[in-house]
């Protein structure tokens, strides 16, 4: 039995995303008022699942749909089609009252640590806000005790509880955001590029903190990032996205050791290697051209206009992701 199959047997499936699509209607720039609006396909049919205590890394260049995919899961963006099944219930078909209850179980950490915090609130009030929203019967003393306990868990001293966000560094602000996300004891946290705005040394501290808290609390994580080194360090499985599509999905070690899709191989070749000799002699696979517009994507395989392997068949048929749970790929030319 493989590692992922063993995980399937031992752990509970908590999230199952089926054929998720997020399309936006864009008003036409034509002078004719009867011109039809264009459709921007931000996410176009992504399938993925997540187990209890697992981390799913999501990678891809800017504009590939990573953040929209994450926001559609949590409900900040409305899904056009598909299912987001959370603990056996489809979030996309829930009414607002039902969905509100699930928000206690699914929280989010945002990319810009300072911009995600209200500058007019103390950090104590920021961390306490979810408790006051979902547990209004808690006394002020109980709320304060829980906030101080959570601050200690994320490496913040309780004596700074009455300070404001602008008095903290970027790394400290991200710890505040993590504390706010954890205060309700959720089952899953979506991390939308939580370390991209931080220095490298601070990135390592935040990632290690997330790993420690995950182990301690049994959290599941969806971790979005540009930095593949960070993704490799924290993820159990990795989803590679390109122009709203899933092009490769697999166990982290397997995918990094044997990337199959030409887009994944190009991304991997750009990752710095901490050995000067290997780094100096390695070949970087440069992608030609710019990312196509999601309003007018290429026919067939969306990657074909930048793919060094592209053939005529790639323009005629859109590939479906194929392979097992351990490693699957969406390419007509790769077995």
Burial of 184 (0-12, 13-18, 19+ CB in 10 A): middle
At 197 the pLDDT is 75
At 33 the pLDDT is 67
pLDDT for 91 beyond 70: yes
Instruction: Find the mean pLDDT for residues 204-222.
Output: 90
Write the pLDDT tens digit of every residue in 122-161. 999 999 999 999 999 999 999 999 999 999 999 899 999 9
Query: Which is higher by pLDDT, 50 or 268?
Result: 50
Q: Extract the runs of DSSP E, i.e. beta strands, from the chain.
A: 13-26, 38-51, 55-59, 81-86, 89-90, 106-109, 188-192, 220-224, 237-242, 245-251, 322-323, 327-329
Sign (positive or negative) of CA dihedral 302, 304, 305, 307 = positive
- Supply the DSSP string of 276-300, one letter for each residue: HHHHHHPPP-PPPSPPPPTTSPPSS
At 105 the pLDDT is 92
At 4 the pLDDT is 46
At 130 the pLDDT is 94
pLDDT for 6 beyond 60: no
Closest CA to 246 of 93, 45, 110, 109: 45
pLDDT confidence band for 54 (50 / 70 / 90) = very high
Query: Which is higher by pLDDT, 180 or 34?
Result: 180
Sign (positive or negative) of CA dihedral 276, 280, 281, 287 = positive
Write the pLDDT tens digit of every residue in 236-268. 999 999 999 999 999 999 999 899 999 999 888
Sign (positive or negative) of CA dihedral 169, 171, 172, 174 = positive
At 201 the pLDDT is 80
For the chain, give the percent of residues with pLDDT over 70. 91
Instruction: Find the mean pLDDT for residues 17-24.
Output: 95
What is the rounded distance in angstroms from the CA atom of residue 195 to the CA atom of residue 334? 33
Beta partners for 57?
Answer: 223, 238
Write the pLDDT tens digit of every residue in 264-273. 998 888 776 6
Sign (positive or negative) of CA dihedral 94, 99, 102, 106 = positive
CATH number of 3-28+36-105+186-329: 3.40.50.300
Instruction: Find the mean pLDDT for residues 5-25.
Output: 81
At 283 the pLDDT is 67
pLDDT for 38 beyond 70: yes
Residues 196, 30 contacting (CB under 8 angstroms)? no
Closest CA to 313 of 328, 297, 333, 293: 333
Mean pLDDT of the chain: 88
- Which residues make Cβ contacts (< 8 Å) with residue 6, sequence separation at least 6? none
pLDDT for 15 beyond 90: yes
Instruction: State the DSSP code for 60.
Output: -
The number of residues making up the chain comes to 335
pLDDT for 164 beyond 90: yes
What is the rounded distance in angstroms from the CA atom of residue 127 to the CA atom of residue 302? 42
When mean pLDDT is compared across 15-29, 100-114, 232-246, 284-298, the lowest value belongs to 284-298
What is the rounded distance in angstroms from the CA atom of residue 189 to the CA atom of residue 280? 38
Q: What is the side-by-side strand order in the sheet with 38-51?
A: 38-51, 13-26, 81-86, 89-90
When mean pLDDT is compared across 105-109, 111-115, 126-130, 171-175, the lowest value belongs to 111-115
- Supply the DSSP string of 136-170, one letter for each residue: TTS-HHHHHHHHHHHHHHTT--GGGTT--GGGS-H
pLDDT confidence band for 30 (50 / 70 / 90) = low
At 226 the pLDDT is 83
- Which residues make Cβ contacts (< 8 Å) with residue 70, sequence separation at least 6? 58, 108, 190, 192, 222, 224
């Amino acid at each position: 039995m493989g590692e992922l199959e063993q995980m399937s047997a031992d752990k509970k499936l908590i999230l199952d995303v089926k054929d998720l699509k997020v399309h936006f209607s864009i008003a036409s720039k034509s002078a004719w008022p009867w011109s039809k609006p264009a459709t921007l396909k931000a996410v176009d049919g992504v399938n993925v699942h997540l187990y209890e205590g697992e981390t799913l890394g999501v990678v891809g260049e800017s504009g590939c749909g990573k953040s929209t995919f994450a926001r559609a899961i949590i409900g900040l963006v409305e899904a056009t089609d598909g299912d987001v099944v959370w603990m056996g219930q489809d979030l996309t078909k829930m009414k607002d009252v039902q969905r509100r209850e699930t928000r206690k179980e699914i929280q989010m950490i945002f990319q810009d640590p300072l911009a995600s915090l209200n500058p007019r609130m103390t950090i104590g009030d920021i961390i306490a806000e979810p408790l006051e929203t979902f547990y209004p019967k808690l006394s002020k003393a109980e709320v304060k005790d829980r906030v101080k306990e959570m601050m200690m868990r994320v490496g913040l001293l309780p004596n700074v509880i009455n300070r404001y966000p602008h008095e903290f560094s970027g790394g400290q602000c991200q710890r505040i955001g993590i504390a706010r996300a954890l205060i309700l004891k959720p089952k899953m946290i979506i991390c939308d590029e939580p370390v991209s705005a931080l220095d490298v040394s601070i990135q390592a501290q935040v990632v290690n903190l997330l790993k420690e808290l995950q182990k301690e609390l049994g959290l599941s994580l969806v971790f979005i990032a540009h930095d593949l080194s960070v993704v490799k360090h924290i993820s159990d499985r990795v989803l590679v996205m390109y122009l709203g599509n899933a092009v490769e999905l697999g166990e982290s070690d397997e995918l990094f050791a044997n990337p199959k899709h030409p887009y994944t191989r190009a991304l991997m070749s750009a990752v710095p290697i901490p050995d000067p000799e290997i780094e100096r002699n390695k070949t970087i696979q440069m992608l030609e051209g710019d990312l196509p517009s999601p309003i007018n994507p290429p026919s067939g395989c969306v990657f074909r206009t930048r793919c060094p392997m592209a053939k005529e068949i790639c323009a005629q048929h859109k590939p479906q992701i194929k392979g097992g749970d351990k490693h699957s790929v969406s390419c007509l030319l790769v077995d």
